[in-house]
Chain A
Amino acid sequence: SAVISQKPSRDICQRGTSLTIQCQVDSQVTMMFWYRQQPGQSLTLIATANQGSEATYESGFVIDKFPISRPNLTFSTLTVSNMSPEDSSIYLCSVAKEVSYEQYFGPGTRLTVT
């Protein structure tokens, strides 16, 4: 298994500002992902965080709105830019040791945009 921490655990932000969420894993992993869970909904994949290169975004998500960094095999950040109330969600990172291995999730960051 993997132990994953996320910072911050929650935040309340003003419309038009940006928030950077950090994800730290206790061991090196090949795969890291960012998901969004909107209120009352299931999880939707935002992007795959690639170490040392640009993230791979899913349909409906763009780099200008959700820039992602992954400088090494244990750390990644997701920035939610120019926030609006529609961005209020729980943001979760997940990791897998290798492709198609079991995925583990962080505790999530609960974001409220006012």
Chain B
Amino acid sequence: KQEVTQIPAALSVPEGENLVLNCSFTDSAIYNLQWFRQDPGKGLTSLLLIQSSQREQTSGRLNASLDKSSGRSTLYIAASQPGDSATYLCAATGANSKLTFGKGITLSVRP
């Protein structure tokens, strides 16, 4: 059974800092890995999708990497802004598109 872990559960950084959010998974037989953002009381916004054959994906100030062999993914946020404050969830895609989610990292960017 796939297990996805995100540590730490919460992170507070000053504005402008570059930061890395970590995600680990136990079963390397994944189809892809997605990173989502969730604002309080809202649904999920897809940020980046990395296919199992890829090593990384970039979108603006976000860069996600995937190392299937070690069961790890990272989300790099450059030059963080207060508007980046949210909960970031990673999810591993298994058979039949089923997502297994981590518990998320709640990020607070201080002005």
Contacts and interface: CB of A to CB of B under 8 A. Distances in A.
| A and B together in one complex | yes
A19 interface: no
A45 interface: yes
A96 interface: yes
Contacts of B91: 43, 103
Interface size class of B (residues with CB under 8 A): 20 to 34
Contacts of A110: 41
B6 to A, nearest CB: 9
Identify the interface centre among A43, A94, A101: most chain B CB within 10 Å of its CB: A43
Contact of B101 (A43, A48, A108): A43
A5 to B, nearest CB: 10
B58 interface: no
A102 B36 contact: no
A99 B54 CA distance: 18
Interface residues of A, number: 25
B97 A107 contact: no
A102 to B, nearest CB: 4
Interface string A69-99: 0000000000000000000000010101001
Interface of B: 31-32, 34, 36, 41-46, 49, 89, 91, 93, 96-104
10 contacts: A41-B103, A42-B101, A42-B103, A42-B104, A99-B96, A103-B34, A103-B46, A103-B97, A103-B99, A110-B41
Given A42-B89, A48-B96, A48-B97, 11 more contacts: A1-B46, A33-B99, A42-B103, A42-B104, A44-B101, A45-B98, A92-B43, A94-B99, A103-B97, A103-B99, A107-B42
